[in-house]
Amino acid sequence: RTSSSPLVHLSSIGGGGGGGSGSGGAHPTAQQSMFSDTGQGAGGDDDLPPPVNLTVQNRSRSLLSYTHEGLAAAMASASSSSSSPAAAGALGGTAGASCGSPPGMALQLTTSSSASAIIGASREQKLRPATTGLAFDSLMLKHVCACGDNANHPEHSGRLQSIWARLLGTGLAIRCDKLRSRKATQEELQTVHTEGHALLFGTSQLNRQKVDTSRVSFVRLACGGVGVDLDTTWNEHHTAAAARMAAGCVIDLSYKVARGENRNGFAVVRPPGHHAEADAAMGFCFFNSIALAARLLRHRMPHEMRRILIVDWDVHHGNGTQQAFYDDASVLYLSVHRHDDGNFFPGTGGPAECGVGTGLGYNVNVAWSGGVNPPLGDAEYLAAFRTVVMPIARDFAPDIVLVSAGFDAAVGHPAPLGGYVVSPACFGHLTRELMQLANGKIVLALEGGYDLPAICDSAEECVRALLGESTSSIAPSELARPPCQAAVETLQKTIAIQVSHWPCVKRLAHTVGLSALQAHSSEREESDTVTAMAGLSMQPLKRTSDVSCEDSEEPMDQDESK
């Protein structure tokens, strides 16, 4: 657990003013208040803009405070590709280039593998005429910290530029439908967020002066910029519009897919959303785009969209999304994230958090623990999808699948930002797995992910999967590797908890320790056995007239001896 961030030490600017009330930023649960103690900021009673007389808080549970050890390394590639807002315009070509796989990066671009053929990872899928939709708008690039230095902020505009440049450069974007983008309306925002939150973070500078901002204090960051916390930078002129655009993109793309106008979709959006709660911005997030899309689909297409599955594979738990649907049986939230018994940001998302009231059983957390030694990779994510995610998802039978597609579990993220080593190819594979649900209606929306090569590669793999094109194969060594012991224990614990809500997880529980290949052959043997037994049990019927009782018992004897 990190006790302090260097940002804090550097930042005793603003002088006094540290005596603000401690209650202003209270959050619904004690757990969340551990890392969102905004109420102690001095700016709480100040009118905005601009925030003045601010004090930086020692926010030990800030997402970014986990990053300081590896930040320099993590940001090296980022800052070299786009270090200032001014560089944004000129980035098109270089960003794409910067996303090329650097030497030594294990991207597993093997072209053929008997292993992947066995599990069918590269098979082409039949597509309907409607194609993949893509959402992007350059307005979202304008959400930048006042310091203008991306090296201070992992969640910077270069992320989006790089991914978009990759999709253009590879010719993938042109094979997709580009969404006509728009900002989410206040009315829409308030289907998930409180009126105060929606107005505070979603209206223009002028209008915001009419809003009661006493509940929220802004803090002055070490870099000289302003944020709602150390992670979540606030640009007085552009953040509101960017956050509303991100939400609008995800909402509209989800509609298009729900209505069948697009077969599926990928939203290249920022700021991310899954940490944003009804009344709190945190962890780089202001509005919960995925939650808004799900809520609005339920409201506006109640008969067609009866059940919505949200899969969240960002390395962090989506506390905001879980909160939004915790008592709602029509939206199943299923998250796979690093948890470390509550010691990884945001601390929520334990395996026993299963929902309340009628929503009980409709919240599933695969909460990895055991740190990053060894780092989790494809083998663990494949096991989680095989034994928990896909069985429950199939049983739920959603009408649409929305994915909080953060790529910070990908290889390339230092331990404080993720520390796992999931390959881009694996994200493509997981996408294809989820495409089997809901008649293929699936929308991926970018959440986190900060290593530019990794997020570009991962986004490319996912879009290729959505288009039905072949993707890179998962490394044979990962297909052959059983999940690590800590991951096996997590899956066993998850299954033990979820089995009362989802009996289907019992069937594969005995295979959690198997590699993807072992599980595949075990599954095949099992189905061969079932087929064989069905055949055997038919034999006595056919042969009733000419066989003895002893003969008919033979198959059973054979079966028991197996």
Q: Are 158 and 95 in contact (CB under 8 A)?
A: yes
Pick between residue 96 and residue 158 the one whose CB is nearest to Zn ion: 158
Catalytic residue among 153, 275, 339, 520: 275
DSSP letters, 271-332, are S--TT-BTTB-BTTBSS-HHHHHHHHHHHH-TTT-S-EEEEE-SSS--HHHHHHTTT-TTEE
**How many beta carbons lie within 10 A of that of residue 561, not counting itself?**
6
Q: How far is the CB of 398 from Zn ion (least distance, A)?
A: 23
Amino acid at 55: T
Q: Are 347 and 340 in contact (CB under 8 A)?
A: no
Pick between residue 26 and residue 409 the one whose CB is nearest to Zn ion: 409
DSSP letters, 386-424, are IIIIHHHHHHH--SEEEEEE--TTBTT--GGGT---B-H
Half-sphere exposure of 276 (CA within 13 A, CB side): 32
Task: Point out the residue whose Cβ comes nearest to Zn ion.
Answer: 448
Cα separations in angstroms, 120 against 63, 146, 200, 215, 394: 37, 48, 49, 53, 19
Pick between residue 76 and residue 538 the one whose CB is nearest to Zn ion: 76
Angle formed by the axes of helices 239-258 and 195-202, to 10°?
120
152 lies in the binding site for Zn ion (CB under 5 A): yes
225 lies in the binding site for Zn ion (CB under 5 A): yes
Q: How far is the CB of 399 from Zn ion (least distance, A)?
A: 27
From 133, 406, 428, 513, residue interacting with Zn ion (rule: CB under 5 A): 406
227 lies in the binding site for Zn ion (CB under 5 A): no
454 lies in the binding site for Zn ion (CB under 5 A): no
| β-sheet with 132-135: strand ranges across | 177-178, 132-135, 264-267, 442-446, 400-405, 308-312, 331-338, 363-368
Whether omega before 483 lies within 30 degrees of 0, making that bond cis, reads no
Catalytic residue check, 337? no
Pick between residue 34 and residue 109 the one whose CB is nearest to Zn ion: 34
Q: Are 144 and 161 in contact (CB under 8 A)?
A: no
412 lies in the binding site for Zn ion (CB under 5 A): no
Q: How far is the CB of 83 from Zn ion (least distance, A)?
A: 12
CA-based nearest residue to 67, from 192, 197, 155: 155
From 106, 118, 147, 168, residue interacting with Zn ion (rule: CB under 5 A): 147
Q: How far is the CB of 78 from Zn ion (least distance, A)?
A: 13
Q: Are 219 and 230 in contact (CB under 8 A)?
A: yes
Q: How far is the CB of 41 from Zn ion (least distance, A)?
A: 17
Q: How far is the CB of 473 from Zn ion (least distance, A)?
A: 26
Task: Count, in order, helices (H) and strands (E) of the chain.
Answer: 20, 10
145 lies in the binding site for Zn ion (CB under 5 A): yes
Pick between residue 412 and residue 482 the one whose CB is nearest to Zn ion: 412
Please state whether 256 falls in left (phi above 0), alpha (psi between -120 and 50) or beta. Answer: alpha
With CB under 5 A as the rule, give the number of residues binding Zn ion: 10
Site string for Zn ion, 284-323 (x = CB under 5 A): ------------------------------x-x-------
Pick between residue 198 and residue 315 the one whose CB is nearest to Zn ion: 315
Pairing between strand 219-220 and 226-227? antiparallel
Residues 57-116 that bind Zn ion (CB under 5 A): none
Token pair, residue 482, equals 């059983």
Helix residue spans in 435-515 (DSSP H): 452-467, 476-480, 485-498
Pick between residue 96 and residue 448 the one whose CB is nearest to Zn ion: 448
380 lies in the binding site for Zn ion (CB under 5 A): no
Q: How far is the CB of 381 from Zn ion (least distance, A)?
A: 15
Token pair, residue 254, equals 């989800």
Q: How far is the CB of 180 from Zn ion (least distance, A)?
A: 28
Site string for Zn ion, 185-224 (x = CB under 5 A): --------------------------------------x-
Pick between residue 201 and residue 234 the one whose CB is nearest to Zn ion: 234
Pick between residue 107 and residue 410 the one whose CB is nearest to Zn ion: 410
From 169, 448, 482, 513, residue interacting with Zn ion (rule: CB under 5 A): 448
Q: How far is the CB of 317 from Zn ion (least distance, A)?
A: 9
- Using the contact rule CB under 5 A, the part of the chain among 116-124, 193-201, 372-380, 404-412 near Zn ion is 404-412
CA-based nearest residue to 78, from 413, 338, 375: 413
Q: Which residues carry out catalysis?
A: 275
**Site residues, Zn ion (CB under 5 A):** 145, 147, 152, 223, 225, 314, 316, 406, 408, 448
